Structure 1
């Protein structure tokens, strides 16, 4: 009797154990299938696999690629910041280049061969063209030439006539080509009480000829 009861108990316990194992196996199979369907990898040891190393962000990679392509397409040189170890030095001379000489100013004072400006001409002396006081023989010739034109020109005053002749010679030196002016001056210089306005233009021209032939040096 006891043997049958023990056998029945063992049988019932085996049945319960078998049912429990069957139930645990089907739950484990469902979990594994669900994990496989969701794409999550599993290991035989039941541990979660280590996540792979992070890769560069797609946005940063695309930006770098776009910048490189743009620089290559436009042919622009890389910026100074993109070239390490090459500091930009403003104003530095390029090796092998020659500095251009400073342009010279035309007409500078130190230019060789530049002609010096013309110096102002000095004023002529006040006695320029005035002949020296003639000797006695030259004075006599002058008086004779004037008497031949009109004796009243000398009027018995030979020394006064000589001084007037010297002044007229200086005017002839100053205005050698202005005949009209010389005639006017001669008519103003050679005067007498009887001829206060001179002896006229005709005799004034003859006085000029007499002075040229005797006292006045040639121009």
Structure 2
């Protein structure tokens, strides 16, 4: 399973790098971007996430439910960085997908990933389990 997780992450990274390289190549050649159609992945990051098997960025009520769920556990989890928390939530969904049924490993990964300035080593396994549950129920319930 770890290999599958690594492959998924490398695929997503390659998509993002290739998109960035295409844009920088045009800049270096002095080419104009006028009239140039954006690629699907550069126009919509959710396309790259979908290609990597990750959920789309939560919007509206889904986003609010996720952030409210985290803040109900401990306001220091989000610590005023909503977009960072959303990114970590999507990453948590990747962990759920790549370690199906292995709640202990999922929780361990979440504990390492979710840090804050006052908890640089993470919030502990009990809090990580709650973060995992919030991400699973609000961002990726189908995983």
| Aligned equivalent of 1:139 | 63
1:175 aligns to 2:96 (yes or no): no
Q: CA deviation at 1:188?
A: 1.2
The alignment's TM-score, normalised by the length of structure 1, stands at: 0.42
Q: Which runs of 4+ in 1 moved over 3 A?
A: 123-129
1:201 aligns to 2:125 (yes or no): yes
The 3-state SS of whatever aligns with 1:129 is coil
Give the count of matched residue pairs: 97
Structure with greater Cα Rg: 1
Greater percentage in helix: 2
Greater RCO (CA < 8 Å, at least 6 residues apart) = 2
Q: CA deviation at 1:184?
A: 1.2
| Aligned equivalent of 1:212 | 136
1:104-129 CA distance string (max 9 Å, x none) = xxxxxxxxxxxxxxxxxxx8664433
Gaps of 5+ in 1: 1-122
Measured in 1, the distance between the counterparts of 2:97 and 2:141 equals 9
1:17-72 CA distance string (max 9 Å, x none) = xxxxxxxxxxxxxxxxxxxxxxxxxxxxxxxxxxxxxxxxxxxxxxxxxxxxxxxx
Q: CA RMSD in A?
A: 1.7
The alignment's TM-score, normalised by the length of structure 2, stands at: 0.62
